[in-house]
Amino acid sequence: MDEQTLTQESGTRTIAAADAAGVNKDDVIAVLGNFTDPDKLTHAAQEIHAAGFVDFDIYTPYPVHGLDKAMGLPKTKLPLFSIGGAAFGLANAIFLQWWTATIQYPLNIGGKPYFSPWFGMPVMFELTVLLCALTTVFVMFGLMCGLPKWWHPLQDDEGFRKAVDDTHVVSIEAADARFTVESATALLGRLGADDVRVVTA
């Protein structure tokens, strides 16, 4: 969901597609349709993407293999952040052990060198892993998924609430440049979605 739809303040209503002729076009948030068969769902994702829609999403109770590709989503950039976090952790570990032993408080222990990478390995490894893991999770949830977010424009829709249980919900959003209620409902109907409906503000 993009930011624009999240500024809605009132509750939403769900209207079956057949009864949606009279709704105010400006109030429409999205057109939704349910799927249960993952094959039909994947096909629908490909078709909606092929029809040129960008602002559409599919809510699923578990990750469906290949659905992101079918939707035409770009590959996630998360690994780049993870590598950055790992490098940061490693640099910290080296600096911490080197600086405390040679600059801040040099301590002669049996004539051994103040610093050597070999005794520093375990701490280097652990801090690399620690910072990489924390970076990965915080970037994934916070930056990439935009969570935490305590409100969602579709949250009152009964089908949408089942998307964390046993239903796949396809949502074509009104924010999309190509969106009209008619084209979206017709497309979802043609692709075999159940219970095609319009969510309005």
Partner 1 sequence: MNAVKSESVREPLILGNPTMGQVTDKIAGIIEAPPTKKYWVLLAFTALLAAQGLASVAYTVLVGPGVWGVKNPIGWGWAITNFVWWVGIGHAGTLISAILFLFRQKWRTAINRSAEAMTIFAVICAGLFPLLHTGRQWIAVYWLLPYPNQMQMWTNFRSPLEWDVFAVSTYLTVSLVFWYTGLVPDFATMRNRVKGLGQKLFSFFSLGWTGSTKHWQHYEMAYLILAGLSTPLVLSVHSIVSFDFAVSVIPGWHTTIFPPYFVAGAIFSGFAMVVTLLVIARSVLNLHDFITLKHLDNMNKIILATGMMVGYAYSMEFFIAQFSEYSFEQFVFVNRATGPYAWAYWSMVSCNVLAPQIFWFKKMRRNIAVMFVVSIFVNIGMWFERFVIIATSLHRDFLPASWDYYTPSIVEVSIYVGTMGIFLTLFLLFAKFVPMLAIAELKGVMPGAQPSHHGDDHSAHNGAAQSGALHNGHA
The Cα–Cα gap between 28 and 54 comes to: 17
Least separation, in Å, of the C-beta of 183 and partner 1?
A: 20
Only one of the segments 13-21, 25-33, 153-161, 178-186 lies at the binding site for partner 1 (rule: CB under 8 A); that segment is 153-161
Does 109 interact with partner 1 (rule: CB under 8 A)? yes
Strand partners, 196: none
User: Which of 152, 157, 187, 151 lies closest to 169 in space, CA to CA?
Assistant: 157
Interacting residue with partner 1 among 5, 12, 34, 97 (CB under 8 A): 97
User: Which of 46, 45, 51, 49 lies closest to 33 in space, CA to CA?
Assistant: 45
Nearer to partner 1, 18 or 144 (CB): 144
Does 194 interact with partner 1 (rule: CB under 8 A)? no
Nearer to partner 1, 16 or 144 (CB): 144
Cβ atoms 201, 29 nearer than 8 A: yes
The Cα–Cα gap between 151 and 64 comes to: 24
Does 195 interact with partner 1 (rule: CB under 8 A)? no
Tokens 């109770």, located at residue: 61
Does 161 interact with partner 1 (rule: CB under 8 A)? yes
The Cα–Cα gap between 44 and 49 comes to: 8
- Torsion sign (Cα): 157, 166, 49, 183: negative
Residues 46-65 that bind partner 1 (CB under 8 A): 46, 57-65
Nearer to partner 1, 19 or 141 (CB): 141
Residue numbers at the binding site for partner 1 (CB under 8 A): 1, 37-43, 45-46, 57-71, 73, 76, 78-79, 82, 96-97, 100-101, 104-105, 109, 112, 119-120, 122-123, 125-127, 129-130, 132-134, 136-137, 140-141, 144-145, 147-152, 154, 160-166
